[in-house]
Structure 1
Amino acid sequence: MERNESSRNFILLGFSDRPKLEMVLFFTNMVFYFLAVMGNSTIIFLSMVDPRLHRPMYFFLCNLSLLDLCYTSSSIPQMLVNLWGPQKTITYMGCVIQLFAFLSVGGIECILLSVMAYDRFVAVCKPL
Structure 2
Amino acid sequence: MSRFDSKNSYTPLTAPPRPWAEIEAFYTSLTAAAFDQQSMVDLVRHIRSAYAEGRFHALTSMHTLVVSVNNPIELDRENLRMDYHFADREWEFDYRSKPFKPAEFTRRYPASSGIEKFDAFVKMIGW
- The TM tier, using the shorter chain, reads under 0.3
TM-score scaled by length of structure 2: 0.24
- Name the structure, 1 or 2, with higher relative contact order (CA <8 Å, separation 6+): 1
Q: More helix by proportion, 1 or 2?
A: 1
Q: More strand by proportion, 1 or 2?
A: 2
Please tell me whether Structure 1 or Structure 2 has the larger radius of gyration of its CA atoms: 1
TM-score scaled by length of structure 1: 0.24
